[in-house]
Structure 1
Amino acid sequence: MAFDATADHIKAGMFVGGDWLFPHPREVIEVENPADETVIGTIPAGTPEDADQAIRSAAQAQRAWSVLPAIERGRAVSRLARLIERRSEEFARLITREQGKPITQARGEVGATVGFLDYAAENARRIGGDIVASDNPNEEIQIRRHPYGVVVGLTAWNYPAALAARKIGPALVAGNAFVMLAHEFTPFSGLFIAALAKEAGIPDGVLNVVTGRGPVIGQALVEHPATAMITMTGSNRAGREIFRTAADGMKVLRLELGGKAPFIVMEDADLDRAVAAALTARYTNCGQICTCNERMYLHRDIADAFLDRFVAASKALRIGDPMGDPDLGPKVSGAEVAKIAGQVDQAVASGAQLLLPGGPLTDGAYAKGHWYAPTVLEVADNAAAIMQEEVFGPVVPAMRVDDFDHALRLANDTGFGLSAYVFTRDHRRLMRTPAALKFGEIYVNRANGEQFQAFHNGWGQSGLGGEDGQYGFDGYLRKQTLYMNWDE
């Protein structure tokens, strides 16, 4: 394997057409460890020419790949899953080095990576169609499914391995070829998968991974005339830019964007369970998950008791070297720390009360790295920016509500529509929840964590399309209608 994930300094090329490309002379991008700011490796800053080469390689390989029996494509993806499984500890340590999540959480991400690939492989025998009765004699109508061709994947830095597998698996099993732009903060996870894909026998050009900056090589991938479909996980700003760029070419889009998940706790909830779930849903991966608990709506009768427990538990969380497996590791970058610090400062200036000051950590063991301690605020105005804008860090505001209807009204007062949480034991409230909450994914009496066989999709400003399960898999196939007439 040309890519050495265990090296102290990783010098990685792009993986295009089954080869490792180290273009020279070329600007390189340094990749740092968020825990101590050391440079762990370099990647090429890709150009539009690199994008063109990757897309052309994928288009050429896709033709032969698409005519293979689906079961053969599924077996190749399954072999990739087994290779990742065999090297799971090495992979987890790589994820922690480049992204900063605690090692146990990185191991969980590797497990999810394997799970996404396995689920996709299982769908190889489920690519079906329909036969519909025709109005004409001696005729039937067939609805068939075909791959799109070349799929471009743009992945986020918060789960660089799992998000890649979530897209690569179904795209390949469906018969597409795939070109992925690995995020410049966390490129090595995608390159690790690419190296193992070659070992798994996935044909050259079927999976390509390029590196560089989104506005340069990413835009070139999106604009390329041979790109048929774009699947992206990232910010709303980036999603809107891709939407505009892809419009001229009428590209098919699947955009999983940001969230501002409400966390509703009613007076009849199991408080121990709700507090535990609120902690998990806010602080896992240092709050860098689009489905995170972003704003809490607490019934007045239990608000004090809930906040007392939540603040005490938040304060007790261990922050430190992610290889030592703390509760919280670092934020991914200094810019991310500055962004959320600014959001908290603005909230306090607008009248929010700090229940747990938290904030940036910069002294002693935290002199190097990008550290931010859990921060809890109480807010009185749902229009405040801290209640409307995604934080994506270990900061959570809370508001008191009078009743369930009040909570629903405030929860829906947002442009986002990805995830929501409800804690209540009232059957009538539970039955109302799906129709009342305008979100694509709702967790009832549990923390977050979607499953492979379900469907992960956002409404409104949280995106288009969706991932996972049969619905997600079908999104990588387009339909064709065939009127089969045998009248002589």
Structure 2
Amino acid sequence: MFSIDAIGKGQIEGRMFVDGAWQSNSACDVIAVENPATEEIIGTIVEGTADDALAAVAAAHRAQPAWAARPAVERAALVNRLADAVHARSEALARLVTLEQGKPLSQARGEIGAVVTFLRYAAGNARRIEGDIIASDNANEEIHIRRHPYGVVVGLTSWNYPAALAARKMGPALVTGNTFVLLAHEITPFSGLALAQLALEVGFPSGVFNVVTGRGRVVGQAMVESPLTGLVTMTGSTRAGREIYRAGADAIKVLRLELGGKAPFIVMQDADIDAAVTAAITARFTNSGQICTCNERMYLHRSIADEFLDKFTASARALTIGDPLTDVDMGPKVSGLEVRKVAQIVARGVEGGAQVLLEGGPLTEGKYAKGHWYAPTVVEVQSNTSPLMREEVFGPVATALRVDSLDEAFAHANDTQFGLSAYLFTTSLKDIARAPYALKCGEIYLNRTNGEAIQGFHTGWGQSGLGGEDGKYGFDGYLRKQTTYLNWG
């Protein structure tokens, strides 16, 4: 079984949590999980099979009718108890996130705080599951619109925020009367298993919350294709989203996909430059740039570009990199594969004419000889066609392009397959008012850095996804509608 108390006391053994019990599989195959700061193996997880995945979905399906029959406030009470348990173990959980994902401990503490917030917000919506009564065209008749759970919700999450993304999905899914099966990402699986341990401790009924482990293309695909799965909610890359889309197509599955981003960060000539630099640094380098809403490409008005880049580059150079369990600004990238991916995009950008203003890149010597390290890098390009402006870097590389007008910046910003987030720094009320109409994306940050509000709605346009999370709109997405024509003759 998995134990939060085993963190830091030798290797962690991670079994799957299905139908209220810790389970292995018949082959007993395992996947090693490493600490990205040291490359040490911190534990193993069961390499689940398609049969394991289907068993978890079946367990959730069996448990769902009784769970949905409970009053919503009773379901919410258990979700609140889970939030209490997370809060009580927050420091141990934060250390676990740092060990398996690599973000600095201060940021991991923030992630665990977000877990508590997501769960409590979902629980608070228990009395907001509402319908409508609509006047009919017929005499002695009413039209009732009711909301019902989908049944089994399958959650597929990314490795960049393994605890928060799980809570963001499971909270509203459970409060609305669905049961939940989480596929814990094989790179960062222990956060999901820790939530399972706490759910068991606070008394969740068997089968209501399940966690499976293994490869997404095996376990995840089986769960998506299962006829017992009612809704699939996934956070990950656009590539992975396309695969989920195809896997769910034959059964016409209901999908909620939060996918990649390539957020433009626009700074105009009338902006508060110091505030813009601070926000841009945070939005680019937090979690080593591994955030879907990150500042991925900067469009700087030509008149302020030199001042901005001088200050931005100096701030990026001053960031500290090291052991994420200490007081540093940046930890490692999550894997060697991710380091190589980022380095390759930068190399292709430089080959295409990009000018390197701050040469960071992979760190491989001295205290960085072990681990997956990438230092802050700043480059300037001459064209919006550079791969650094087209492809999601998802790492600590900031790219800038000078523009002559806001209209030019808007045109460049919209010239992308993505449509998740965008930033604009300006003091012009006219330009602030124009931005929501001009920018083709689901989320806009005006004169501030990134970070969604729990009561907002986090959604992408285009190939950044379908559906969304958070707020009343995100909560409502875990319910389907039913229309009844009530005629009393």
Give the TM-score band, short-chain normalised: over 0.9
DSSP-derived class of the 2:219 partner = helix
Deviation per residue, 1:401-437 (Å, 9 max, x gap): 0011111011111010000000000010011010000
> In the alignment, which residue of structure 1 is the partner of 2:399?
397
**Within 5 A, what are the aligned runs for 1:436-451?**
436-451=438-453
- Give, as a single letter, the amino acid of the residue that structure 2 aligns with 1:215: R
TM-superposed CA distance for 1:251, in Å, is: 0.6
Q: 1:333 aligns with which of 332, 335, 354?
A: 335
TM-superposed CA distance for 1:130, in Å, is: 0.6
DSSP-derived class of the 1:340 partner = helix
> In the alignment, which residue of structure 1 is the partner of 2:293?
291
Between the aligned partners of 1:3 and 1:49, the Cα distance in structure 2 is 25
Between the aligned partners of 1:174 and 1:262, the Cα distance in structure 2 is 35
TM-superposed CA distance for 1:23, in Å, is: 2.5
**Within 5 A, what are the aligned runs for 1:11-50?**
11-50=13-52
**Within 5 A, what are the aligned runs for 1:144-223?**
144-223=146-225
Between the aligned partners of 2:225 and 2:28, the Cα distance in structure 1 is 23
TM-superposed CA distance for 1:364, in Å, is: 0.2
> In the alignment, which residue of structure 1 is the partner of 2:3?
3
TM-superposed CA distance for 1:8, in Å, is: 2.1
DSSP-derived class of the 1:172 partner = helix
**Within 5 A, what are the aligned runs for 1:355-434?**
355-434=357-436
> In the alignment, which residue of structure 2 is the partner of 1:232?
234
Query: For the Cα contact (< 8 Å) 2:2–2:12, is it kept in 1?
Result: no
**Within 5 A, what are the aligned runs for 1:208-357?**
208-357=210-359
Does residue 125 of structure 2 align to residue 123 of structure 1?
A: yes
TM-superposed CA distance for 1:384, in Å, is: 1.3
Between the aligned partners of 2:240 and 2:202, the Cα distance in structure 1 is 33
Q: 1:62 aligns with which of 64, 86, 89?
A: 64
Between the aligned partners of 1:54 and 1:297, the Cα distance in structure 2 is 47
Query: For the Cα contact (< 8 Å) 2:279–2:448, is it kept in 1?
Result: yes
TM-superposed CA distance for 1:337, in Å, is: 0.2
Between the aligned partners of 1:401 and 1:267, the Cα distance in structure 2 is 10
TM-superposed CA distance for 1:13, in Å, is: 0.3
Runs of 4+ in 1 over 3 A off after TM superposition: none
- Give, as a single letter, the amino acid of the residue that structure 1 aligns with 2:24: F
- Give, as a single letter, the amino acid of the residue that structure 1 aligns with 2:56: A
Between the aligned partners of 1:259 and 1:340, the Cα distance in structure 2 is 15
DSSP-derived class of the 1:161 partner = helix
DSSP-derived class of the 1:324 partner = coil
Between the aligned partners of 1:215 and 1:3, the Cα distance in structure 2 is 27
RMSD after superposition: 0.8
Deviation per residue, 1:107-157 (Å, 9 max, x gap): 000000000000000000000001111011110001000000001000000
Normalised to the residue count of structure 2, the TM-score between the two structures is 0.99
> In the alignment, which residue of structure 1 is the partner of 2:144?
142
TM-superposed CA distance for 1:325, in Å, is: 2.4
TM-superposed CA distance for 1:385, in Å, is: 1.1
Between the aligned partners of 1:135 and 1:85, the Cα distance in structure 2 is 52
> In the alignment, which residue of structure 1 is the partner of 2:84?
82
> In the alignment, which residue of structure 2 is the partner of 1:453?
455
Between the aligned partners of 2:2 and 2:349, the Cα distance in structure 1 is 49
Deviation per residue, 1:341-380 (Å, 9 max, x gap): 0000000000000001100000000000000000111001
Deviation per residue, 1:9-60 (Å, 9 max, x gap): 1011000000000224321000000000000000011001101110110000
- Give, as a single letter, the amino acid of the residue that structure 2 aligns with 1:95: V
Between the aligned partners of 2:420 and 2:202, the Cα distance in structure 1 is 35
- Give, as a single letter, the amino acid of the residue that structure 1 aligns with 2:68: S
DSSP-derived class of the 1:85 partner = helix
- Give, as a single letter, the amino acid of the residue that structure 1 aligns with 2:80: S
- Give, as a single letter, the amino acid of the residue that structure 2 aligns with 1:295: R
DSSP-derived class of the 1:111 partner = helix
- Give, as a single letter, the amino acid of the residue that structure 2 aligns with 1:486: W
DSSP-derived class of the 2:125 partner = helix
Query: For the Cα contact (< 8 Å) 2:25–2:52, is it kept in 1?
Result: no
Between the aligned partners of 2:441 and 2:160, the Cα distance in structure 1 is 22
| Identity between Structure 1 and Structure 2 (%) | 67
DSSP-derived class of the 2:145 partner = strand
Between the aligned partners of 1:286 and 1:156, the Cα distance in structure 2 is 15
Gaps of 5+ in 1: none
Between the aligned partners of 2:200 and 2:311, the Cα distance in structure 1 is 50
Between the aligned partners of 2:31 and 2:103, the Cα distance in structure 1 is 21
Between the aligned partners of 2:302 and 2:482, the Cα distance in structure 1 is 55
TM-superposed CA distance for 1:2, in Å, is: 4.7
Between the aligned partners of 1:267 and 1:201, the Cα distance in structure 2 is 57
Deviation per residue, 1:226-284 (Å, 9 max, x gap): 01110000001110011011010111000000000000000000011000000000000
Query: For the Cα contact (< 8 Å) 2:300–2:400, is it kept in 1?
Result: yes
- Give, as a single letter, the amino acid of the residue that structure 2 aligns with 1:16: V
Between the aligned partners of 1:142 and 1:200, the Cα distance in structure 2 is 36
DSSP-derived class of the 2:483 partner = strand
- Give, as a single letter, the amino acid of the residue that structure 2 aligns with 1:371: W
